[in-house]
Structure formats: structure tokens, C-alpha cells
Amino acid sequence: MQADVDALKSALAGDDDAAVKTAYDKLNESQGKLGEAIYKTSQADAAAGASAGPESEPTADAGSSDEDVVDAEVVDDEDEAKK
């Protein structure tokens, strides 16, 4: 892809509009292929992570205790007084 960037820079330095368009199109195609490869790799990584099973992911209980959980509701006394 770096070669395509360099080719576009060289084409921009010249006066040939067709060469600029060709170099731009080639760079754009290279970027599309790179994006597609990155997407496929991330999809494969996600699929591999999902097939690893539940032992690979931490559970909700890991490192926490139910005794520390406090369920509360915030009540604004001023709003209650206005009613």
C-alpha cells in the first residue's frame, strides 16, 4: 500500500491528470483490500473467542460479594415537599 501512496504523490507532482486518477484509483483499491482483510481477521478472532467457551470469560461473581451490594433509591426531599 505504501507503494501506491508513493505513486500517487509522484503523480500529483506532475501535470498528468490521468496518471493522478489512475494512482488514486489504485490506492483506493488497496485501501479497500486492507479494510476487508482487517474485517475478516476481526471476525475470525471474534469467532475464535466465542468458541473458546465460558471458562475463558470471567463470571459476574468473580471478585465480588453479594454482601457489598446496596440497593437504594435517591429521594429529593425538596421535590417531596412541593407535592
Mean pLDDT of the chain: 81
Tell me what percent of the residues of the chain surpass a pLDDT of 90.
Answer: 47
Output the nine-digit C-alpha cell for 77. Answer: 426531599
**Domain assignment of residue 79, yes or no:** no
Q: Which is higher by pLDDT, 77 or 81? A: 77
**Domain assignment of residue 80, yes or no:** no
DSSP class of residue 14 equals: S
Tell me how crowded residue 57 is: count the other CB atoms within 10 A of its CB: 10
H or E element that contains 28: helix 17-51
**Domain assignment of residue 59, yes or no:** no
Task: Tell me how many domains the chain contains.
Answer: 1
Tell me how crowded residue 27 is: count the other CB atoms within 10 A of its CB: 19
pTM for the full predicted model: 0.52
Q: Which is higher by pLDDT, 55 or 12? A: 12
**Domain assignment of residue 66, yes or no:** no
Q: Yes or no: say if 27 and 8 are a contact pair by the CB < 8 Å rule.
A: yes
pLDDT of residue 17: 94
pLDDT class of 79 with cuts at 50, 70, 90: low
**Domain assignment of residue 18, yes or no:** yes
Is 5 strand, coil or helix?
helix
Owning domain of residue 43: 1-49
**Domain assignment of residue 55, yes or no:** no
Rg (C-alpha) for the chain, rounded Å, is: 29
**Domain assignment of residue 14, yes or no:** yes
**Domain assignment of residue 37, yes or no:** yes
Cell 494512482 found at: 23
pLDDT one-digit tens code per residue, 18-42: 999 999 999 999 999 999 999 999 9
